[in-house]
């Protein structure tokens, strides 16, 4: 009996190993067979990839390694987990994929199946085809200039509350962990702008909206997280069967409860608030055979992705901007001078109109996005066969098949001295009126381009600029002993972060 069990187990292990080797062989030799430049398919190359996912090598460094390995290639063969992928290096080709020939590449790859994790799988980022088009059309009115202007006062109040709390608590300003602090601000902004809930996370430090946000957005690469991620992606049915999910179940229940209660309250009291929830409620109530009925899960998923992106990604942009202002005092002084020039006479307020006129502010934030883009890589998925031109002189054209992934190494492109001379220098002048036309189109990709461009980019820019403006009114940003400069990337996260965290000091200004 025991020997039969051992034999069966051994057979299953052998079959599993052979299957894995077969998949890896396909992935790692796919591009060589097509005559494409590719990373050497050695054991060391395979180990390097998995070191990235296990948190031993920063993703940004690995992407630069791939990018720099073939300086004359338009694109390079690579691997996305167990599947072949193409890394695009050429801005003109990037334009074709993202804009000109968008119908061939309209989707993102899917990380988690929506049947397993509807909170993540049903949102506008993850949806595909006509479902994505319908949802994008529904959500787009939330992010027009007129809606930004409407939400400005709500966001400005959050920024005032945040900065005034720091003014009233000077003991917190000697050494500030800006990531921890700015996430409280972005939490409050999204609570009011997307959910219609007023929160002050500096005063009410353990409010549930904030603690659930931390749960939902705190990922470490680590081995357990990696195994869970692979399992969810490769075996979604089994994951659903055993109840495994990407986010803690309490987090999913919380957001579903908040959105459900908000909708019920608005329906009962006939409340109209031109925010994302209201637009989604309108879309839900549309009649017609061509319009799929929107469920509560659909609405929750859209509200959640807005929260997910804003809570973590926007706060990271603010951290890097504050870091560079603390390191570059001349840039900080010039920006503060511009802010003070645009204050409303009589009450020292910043209006939507005055913020939009701050050209140097725009230059500073643009350069922060250039040096530290929100995503190291962005992707597109092929849905219709497409012919790529030869990658290098003398090489063959390559046919991209449906389900092939194309990757855009944004961080590496932004650090290419061919497009941005002296790329490690923080230089807002790159984006001045005189210089910005010299930037090669599609070499600057902080939010992507084309129909799949980040829908919330205007919102993220506005909330960042308001916070920086209010901070510089009240404080001088300074480096402290814990400030990491130059930035060394933290290995155990896929997004950019300094090893040692974001630390600056805030010195109150005499006003």
Binding-site entries for heme? 454
Q: How many CB atoms lie within 10 A of CB 7?
A: 10
CA nearest to 297, candidates 459, 126, 140, 137: 126
Contact by Cβ (8 Å): 191, 183: no
318 membership: H or E segment, kind and range: helix 315-327
Query: What residue ranges in 440-488 does DSSP mark as E strands?
Result: 475-478
- What residues contact residue 497 under an 8 Å CB cut-off, 6+ apart? 179, 316, 489, 490
- What residues contact residue 308 under an 8 Å CB cut-off, 6+ apart? 120, 216, 217
Number of H helices, E strands in the chain: 20, 9
Report how far Cα 393 is from the mean position of its chain's Cα atoms.
35
Structure tokens at 324: 């560079």
- Alpha helices in 359-442, H assignment, sequence order: 359-371, 410-414
**In angstroms, rounded to a whole number, what is the distance separating the alpha carbons of residues 56 and 65?**
15
The 3-class secondary structure across 172-238, one letter per residue, is: HCCCEEHHHHHHHHHHHHHHHHHCCCCCCCCCCCCCHHHHHHHHHHCCCCCHHHHHHHHHHHHCHHH
Structure tokens at 478: 């300074």
Binding positions are 454
378 membership: H or E segment, kind and range: strand 378-381
């Amino acid at each position: 009996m025991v020997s039969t069990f051992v034999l069966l187990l051994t057979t299953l292990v052998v079959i599993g190993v052979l299957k894995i080797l077969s998949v890896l062989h396909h992935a790692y030799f796919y591009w060589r067979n097509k005559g494409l430049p590719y990373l050497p398919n050695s054991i060391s190359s395979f180990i390097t990839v998995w070191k990235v996912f296990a948190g031993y090598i920063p993703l940004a460094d690995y992407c630069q390694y791939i990018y720099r390995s073939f300086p004359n290639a338009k694109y390079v063969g690579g691997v996305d987990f167990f599947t072949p992928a193409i890394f695009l290096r050429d801005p003109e080709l990037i334009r074709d994929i993202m804009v000109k020939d968008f119908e061939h590449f309209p989707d993102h790859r899917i990380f988690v199946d929506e049947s397993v994790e509807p909170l993540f799988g049903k949102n506008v980022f993850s949806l595909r085809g006509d479902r994505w088009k319908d949802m994008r059309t529904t959500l787009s009115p939330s992010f027009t200039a007129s809606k930004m202007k409407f939400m400005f006062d709500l966001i400005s109040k959050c920024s005032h509350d945040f900065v005034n709390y720091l003014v009233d608590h000077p003991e917190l300003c000697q050494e500030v962990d800006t990531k921890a602090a700015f996430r409280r601000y972005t939490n409050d902004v999204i609570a009011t702008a997307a959910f219609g809930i007023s929160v002050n996370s500096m005063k009410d430090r353990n409010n549930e909206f904030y603690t659930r946000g931390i749960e939902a957005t705190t990922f470490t690469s680590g081995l357990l997280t990696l195994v869970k991620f692979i399992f969810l992606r490769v075996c979604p049915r089994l994951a659903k069967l055993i109840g495994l999910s990407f986010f803690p179940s309490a987090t999913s229940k919380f957001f579903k409860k908040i959105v459900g209660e908000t909708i019920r309250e608005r329906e009962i009291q006939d409340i109209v608030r031109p925010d994302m929830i209201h637009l989604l409620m309108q879309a839900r109530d549309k009649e017609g055979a061509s319009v799929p009925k929107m469920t509560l899960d659909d609405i929750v998923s859209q509200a959640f992705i807005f929260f997910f992106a804003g809570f973590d990604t926007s706060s990271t942009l603010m951290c890097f901007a504050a870091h560079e202002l603390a390191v570059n005092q001349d840039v900080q002084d010039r920006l503060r001078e511009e802010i003070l020039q645009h204050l409303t006479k009589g009450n020292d307020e910043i209006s939507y109109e005055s913020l939009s006129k701050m050209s140097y502010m725009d230059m500073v934030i643009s350069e922060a996005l250039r040096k530290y883009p929100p995503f190291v890589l962005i992707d597109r998925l092929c849905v219709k066969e497409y012919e790529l031109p030869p990658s290098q002189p003398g090489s063959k054209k390559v046919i991209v098949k449906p389900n092939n992934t194309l990757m855009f190494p944004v961080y590496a492109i932004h650090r290419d001295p061919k497009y941005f001379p002296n790329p490690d220098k923080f230089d807002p002048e790159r984006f001045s009126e005189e210089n910005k036309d010299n930037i090669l189109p599609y070499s600057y990709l902080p939010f992507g381009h084309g129909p799949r461009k980040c829908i919330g980019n205007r919102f993220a820019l506005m909330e960042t600029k308001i916070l920086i403006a209010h901070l510089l009114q009240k404080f001088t940003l300074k480096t402290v002993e814990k400030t990491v400069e130059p930035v060394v990337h933290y290995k155990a996260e896929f997004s950019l972060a300094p090893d040692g965290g974001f630390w600056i000091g805030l010195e109150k200004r005499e006003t």
